[in-house]
Amino acid sequence: MRVVVQRSLESSVSVDSKIIGKIAYGLVVLVGFTQGDSIEDIEYMVNKIINLRIFDDENGVMNKSLLDVKGSILSISQFTLYGDAKKGRRPSYDKALEASQAKILYDQFNESLKRHGIKVETGIFGVEMKVNIVNDGPVTIIIESRE
């Protein structure tokens, strides 16, 4: 499992020019799955994301977590995180998990975040979306559940 976490002042996701998910202060999390990912990967990732200290404290030091600042998450499925462009110019997506399995894990990921008290907004799995991100900082972190 691979995620790109971006600290955000405000962000939204649209499908067919209609906003379907929107957050104010919090994180945009782009989420990709690969073969072998499981509930253990999800729980590791959720714990890492909600406790990641990337929000400023009163001294301007990144020392607070999403839980500390009571932020929200805009969760966007993104199989292209497993794109491999080492050979040629067209990325291969062979390492991305098959869509029906990835959707199950994506739904479990979002439900796990909600069980931790996080407000979660999402896009729609498997459709073309437009994501508008106001990246704060900018702060962008890439996390993998396994080496």
Q: Catalytic positions, please? A: 78-80
Q: How far apart are CA 45 and CA 64, in angstroms?
A: 17
Q: Return the bridge partners of 4, or none.
A: 30, 142
User: Given the structure tokens 């790109």, which residue do they identify?
Assistant: 4
43: left (phi over 0), alpha (psi -120 to 50) or beta: alpha
Place of tokens 């979002």: 110
